[in-house]
Amino acid sequence: MGAFFVVAAGVLLGKRIALREAEAWSAGVRHVADAIRAAGAAETREMLHAGEVEGREDARARVSAFESFCLVRAAEHETIEGRIARREAELATAAARVVTAREQADAQKKRATELEAEIARQRDEILALTRGTLAALEREAGETAEDVRAALIEAELEDARMHAAQSVRAADHAPVDEAGRDAKRIMGIAVGRFSGHYLTERLHSLIPFAPGATPEAINSILGPGDANLAAIGGVAGVTLTLVETRDAIRLEGLDGVGREVARRVLARLMREPRLGADAAEVERGARAISKQLDVELDDLGRRAFRALEIPPAHAEIVRLVGRLNYRTSYTQNQWKHAIEAGFLCGMMAEELDLDLKVARRAALMHDIGKALTHELDGSHAVIGADYARRLGESELVANAIGAHHTEEPFNSTYALLVAASDAMSGARPGARREQTDNYVQRLDDLERIGGHFHGVDRAFAVQGGRELRVYVKEDRVNDEKCVEL
């Protein structure tokens, strides 16, 4: 028990000692806190004083800057107000000038109106005086102004006609230039040197049966239901029909080679009517004759190239040249015409020191398009030129083919020579023949056209229509008008 009290007394003593120590520490802390609080208050007072001083200095600087700015703006405002005052004074002056100008313009407009009225009055007076003067002149002259004007116009036209007639007469009597003389000389030499075959021929369009042919032989030739004619026409590309009198067969078609095939097949059937028993056999025979004719066409084409002594062309061109043998123009055989034109063109080329073979080649092929006209649309000259270009002929030759009827421009002398040789071959006497009806109609047209001209009494076509002889009324047509006529 005593020990317990000793321990308890020790504990109480320890607590009291700790309490004293805590109170001493608390007093020290309070003392430190008071020192810190006093230092903070002193520092706060110093900071407030520094801030107050700094704020006053900044405010003072700001006020000074604002006052400077206000002074500058006030100076600017004074300058602007001065400019505004000057502009207002200028506007007032301009307004005064505008008012003055408007008053002047109104005065001028009024004056112009008065002048226009005066001009109109004077114009009316002039018109009245002119009418009176014109009427007086017409009364004195006995003619109206329109009559005088028409007479003056007619006199001027008559004078112009007279001068034109004199110019035409002077041109007709002017000496021929050197180039014209050379051209005529060369053409004359070529025509004089050439000697060719002038016989004309016509393709058959009506094939009569042999005299005394029996109805059985005719039916054998025609075949059942005219089957043989249809078979032949299908191969040859022509139409064959029996005439109403049943004594001949009519051929209708533009292809001369096809017509020749049909003619040969019919000639064979007429010699051997028994061959017409089978239409299929007739068709095979027609095809065989067509192939045989193709061989002949190739031979004709090669003969033409050999005759002109020029190298052969492409096989298709050679055949086209051969096909010309079965094409005519106003009854002139075109194969012979091509060879003739080739010789003429070559002779003219020699006179001009040009290439003889090129000239002959172009002239020989100038009408190959006629062998294709029934197959292709267009001018035979253009078609022939296109074929020649595609089949390897030179541009000189192709252009001469295309230009000989002026469908293409003349790009070389050879083209001009081909055109001249073509015209010379076709226009020579006896080269071509027209039907009687067409010939008479052409003469009548020439006389009718010639007789319709003013002052013509009568007109007669002579020299086969190559010349028109005109008789005029002497009291209406003088020498100058004759030249014009």
Could you tell me the pLDDT band of residue 397, with boundaries at 50, 70 and 90?
very high
Banded model confidence at residue 332, pLDDT cuts 50, 70, 90? confident
Confidence of residue 420 (pLDDT cuts 50, 70, 90): very high
Where helices occur in 309-412 by DSSP H, the ranges are 315-323, 334-351, 356-364, 380-390, 395-403
Torsion over CA: 32, 35, 41, 43 (sign): negative
CA 293 to chain CA centroid, Å, is 44
What confidence score (pLDDT) does residue 351 get? 92
What confidence tens digit (pLDDT) does each residue in 136-149 have?
Answer: 887 787 778 788 88
> Bigger pLDDT: 54 or 466?
54
Q: Tell me, what amino acid is at 119?
A: I
Is the model's pLDDT at 476 over the cut of 90? no
- Check residue 393 and report its DSSP letter: -
Comparison of pLDDT for 180 and 342, the residue scoring more: 342
pLDDT band at 199 (very low <50, low <70, confident <90, very high): very low
**Do the beta carbons of residue 247 and residue 209 sit within 8 Å?**
yes
**How many angstroms separate the CA atoms of 205 and 240, rounded?**
10
Phi, psi of 431 (to 5 degrees): -75, -40
Q: What is the CB neighbour count within 10 angstroms for residue 239? A: 14
Q: Which residue has the tokens 């049943």?
A: 246
Q: Is the pLDDT of residue 200 over 70?
A: no
pLDDT in tens, 425-475: 887 666 666 555 667 788 888 888 988 888 888 898 886 677 888 898 888
Q: What is the pLDDT of residue 196?
A: 63
- Alpha-carbon span 406 to 376, nearest angstrom: 19
Residue tagged 């604002």 (tokens) = 66
Which of 43-52, 160-169, 278-287 is the least confident region?
A: 160-169
State the pTM of this model: 0.55
Structure token pair of residue 360: 């002959």
Backbone dihedral angles phi then psi of residue 252, each to the nearest 5 degrees: -130, 120
Alpha-carbon distance 336 to 341, whole Å?
8
Share of the chain above pLDDT 70, in %: 90
Q: Which residue bears the tokens 């014209």?
A: 180
Antiparallel, parallel or unpaired: β 332-333 and 456-462: unpaired
Give percent of the chain above pLDDT 90: 28
Antiparallel, parallel or unpaired: β 206-208 and 248-252: antiparallel
- Asked if pLDDT for residue 162 goes beyond 70, the answer is yes
Half-sphere exposure of 466 (CA within 13 A, CB side): 5
* CA distance linking residue 16 with residue 14, whole number of Å: 5
Q: Would you place residue 192 in the very low, low, confident or very high pLDDT band (cuts 50, 70, 90)?
A: low
Question: Does residue 376 carry a pLDDT above 80?
Answer: no
Q: What is the mean pLDDT of the chain?
A: 84
Residue pair 198/333 in contact by the 8 Å Cβ criterion: no
Please tell me the distance from the alpha carbon of residue 207 to that of residue 242, in angstroms, as a whole number.
10
Q: How far is CA 181 from the centre of its chain?
A: 38
Q: Encoding tokens for residue 300?
A: 């004709």
Q: What is the pLDDT of residue 341?
A: 93
- Answer yes or no: is pLDDT of 258 > 70: yes
Question: Which one, of 433, 421, 400, lies nearest residue 186 by Cα?
Answer: 421
Question: What DSSP element (H or E) covers 67?
Answer: helix 2-141
Q: Kindly state the helix (H) or strand (E) to which residue 394 belongs, with its residue range.
A: none
**384 Cβ contact partners less than 8 Å away, ≥ 6 residues apart:** 365, 366, 367, 368, 369, 370, 372, 401, 402
Q: What is the pLDDT of residue 201?
A: 44
pLDDT computed for residue 202 by the predictor: 47
Give the number of other Cβ atoms within 10 Å of residue 1's Cβ: 5
pLDDT at 352 over 50: yes
Q: 120, 266, 273: which is closest to 204 by C-alpha?
A: 266
Amino acid (1-letter code) at residue 376 = L
Give SS3 for 469. strand
pLDDT 10s digits, 58-84: 888 888 888 888 888 888 898 999 899
Q: Which tens digits make up the pLDDT trace of 92-137?
A: 999 999 999 999 999 999 999 999 999 999 999 898 888 888 788 8
How many C-beta atoms lie closer than 10 Å to residue 308's C-beta? 20
3-class secondary structure per residue, 464-478: HHCEEEEEECCCCCC
pLDDT in tens, 274-291: 887 788 888 898 899 999
Residue 179 has pLDDT above 90, yes or no: no
Confidence of residue 303 (pLDDT cuts 50, 70, 90): very high
Residue 317 dihedral angles phi and psi, to the nearest 5°: -65, -40
